[in-house]
Chain A
């Protein structure tokens, strides 16, 4: 994907050619859905949040200056949309998605190696979900969104080096959370 092309498209949208937003949507909607889904574990909520991001692009398109990358701009919007959603419905974050993961793990039969691997993944997903929001977010941005560390730095307003350090510490915390959950035998295995 060519970031300059994204910028050129967004500048056209800014200048009134809003049909070009369809192209940007086709490039980013699935990635954003994945970003929100990993944060919320709710497909319906994630679809609404994607819709909110593109609604905000239309609404605030006049603020787009085309100086930076479109990719970092859209993730800025996505983070704001998620924070707003988080403020609106805190309870959903701390309970509903946990229940969802527990259900998911209980549905897996523990018989062979393949299934055990799936259980490990589910446990890791559950551990990821129990991390503080900022740690979970930096892992999602770095592992799944195909963003460079420099781009993540622009999104999170920090240096590239700081991004790497924060990622490593988030990985360490995730590992600790995983081990703790495994030790407590919360989800079997």
Chain B
């Protein structure tokens, strides 16, 4: 028997895996060969001896380490999958044949959002600006009313001139100016008030006040000034007031003539 064949058969024999025909052949060989018998015995003893070598049990830490590693791997993979999905989506968008349409849509949307944002900001600033302007005008009105009560005519003239910087006048300012026109002791101040009120001639309250003021005036300069304002404002109702003024006899003849010449266009 060849050595290698014998070696194979020994291993099969000691493991009980040898076939019946080979077993017969193997035993016949052993019966005629002492050296092979010794080889078999030696291999058998050593093989059996190996089985007695024991190994310890692994510690529970080995299982813990494994499951910890598995969980960490799963967590890392979940995070990686999330990123992968995101990149896939982005990739899909860029490689889509409708990408240009989507891009244009996104661009228009962006412009729209920017526009709305800009308008909102502009409106916001406008609102703030208007609020501040209103507050400044309010302060000017208060200051003007306070200055009109000063003793000095110069101060009162300054107060009247403040109204030139106002786009519109509130009731307080209008009343203050009309009061100045009717009652201020200084002709120049009254003329300045008339001039200031003329700017707001379209205001019905002021127009009414101007008409009523005609009969209160004693100063020829103011009377002529009022007549010019009435003509300029095309206020026909003023004619009655001027006639009432003439009847009171406080208007010098030359002034009366001048006024009549002015208001003739209104009749």
Contacts and interface: CB of A to CB of B under 8 A. Distances in A.
Interface string A78-93: 0000000000000000
A130 interface: no
A62 interface: no
Contacts of B53: 38, 121, 124-125, 128
Interface residues of B, number: 33
Interface string A89-101: 0000000000000
Interface stretch (A69-77, A105-113, A166-174): A166-174
A161 B66 contact: no
B222 interface: no
Interface string A125-137: 1001000000000
A33 B63 CA distance: 11
A178 B46 contact: yes
B4 A174 contact: no
A124 B45 CA distance: 11
Given A121-B53, A125-B53, A164 B12 contact: yes
B202 interface: no
B55 A38 contact: yes
Interface string A39-54: 0000100110011001
A55 interface: yes
Contacts of A187: none
A139 B50 contact: yes
Interface stretch (B68-76, B225-233, B238-246, B250-258): B68-76
Nearest to B53: A125
Contact of A33 (B47, B58, B67, B70): B58
B58 A47 contact: yes
B62 A143 contact: no
A117 B52 CA distance: 10
Contacts of A167: 11
A161 B74 CA distance: 43
A120 B70 CA distance: 42
B55 A172 contact: no
Q: Is the interface of A mostly helix, strand, loop or mixed?
A: helix
- Counting chain A residues whose Cβ lies within 8 A of the other chain, the interface size class is 35 or more
A29 B62 contact: yes
B65 A51 contact: yes
A176 to B, nearest CB: 10
B261 interface: no
A183 interface: no
B191 to A, nearest CB: 97
B84 interface: no
A147 to B, nearest CB: 12
Nearest to B9: A164
B51 A18 contact: no
Contact of B58 (A43, A143, A175): A43
Contact of A165 (B4, B47, B65): B4
A142 B243 CA distance: 140
B65 to A, nearest CB: 5
B61 interface: yes
A68 interface: no
Given A169-B7, A174-B46, A178-B46, A51 B55 contact: no
Contact of A124 (B43, B46, B58, B62): B46
Given A124-B49, A128-B50, 4 more contacts: A50-B62, A51-B62, A121-B49, A168-B8
21 contacts: A18-B73, A18-B74, A18-B77, A19-B74, A47-B61, A51-B66, A54-B70, A58-B73, A117-B52, A121-B49, A124-B50, A124-B52, A124-B53, A125-B53, A161-B4, A168-B8, A168-B10, A168-B11, A172-B42, A174-B46, A175-B43
